[in-house]
Structure 1
Amino acid sequence: AIALAAFGGALGQGRAAAAALEGIARNPGARKDLFVPFILGLALIESLVIYALIIAFMLSGKVG
């Protein structure tokens, strides 16, 4: 279960990075406008993976 969440998170982060870099390549002046939403998006994607890890630990009986 956690491997699937990690794979999904990695795929999402890769696609987000590719889209951000493509946007910067097309319009270098938009770098400052794309940076904060990009970092926030990565943080939200990573938080989903961390939640999946916590749930996996809870289901296995290791935590809580």
Structure 2
Amino acid sequence: MTRMEKFEMLEGAKSMGAGAATIASAGAAVGIGNVFSSLIHSVARNPSLAKQLFGYAILGFALTEAIALFALMMAFLILFVF
């Protein structure tokens, strides 16, 4: 195997690894959808708790979005550091 072939295989593996790392973004999108759909259902059942429930929803959104940001960070590390 020549040096160029090894380099091309390494670049291909890096691209596949970065693509696999970004799959977590789809999971985070589903999680964010669940958070806000639960907020809508909860406010529809009990409108007097809307402010408190909105605070909990924002906390859930932030924690779920952190997963997507970590996945994006890992994809960039795979692509540009290794």
What TM-score, normalized to structure 1? 0.88
What TM-score, normalized to structure 2? 0.70
Q: Which has the larger radius of gyration?
A: 2
Determine which of 1, 24, 34 is the counterpart of 2:43. Answer: 24
- Please say if 1:13 is aligned against 2:32: yes
Deviations 1:3-59 (A, max 9, x none): x11110110000111111100000000101101111011011111100011011112
Structure 1 pair 63/37, CA: closer, same or farther in 2 (3 Å)? Answer: farther
Q: CA RMSD in A?
A: 1.4
> Structure 1: which 4+ aligned runs deviate by more than 3 Å?
none
Unpaired runs of 5+ in structure 1?
A: none
List aligned pairs for 1:1-64, cutoff 5 A.
1=20, 2=22, 4-60=23-79, 62-63=80-81
Unpaired runs of 5+ in structure 2?
A: 1-19
Q: Distance in 1 between matches of 2:52 and 2:62?
A: 17
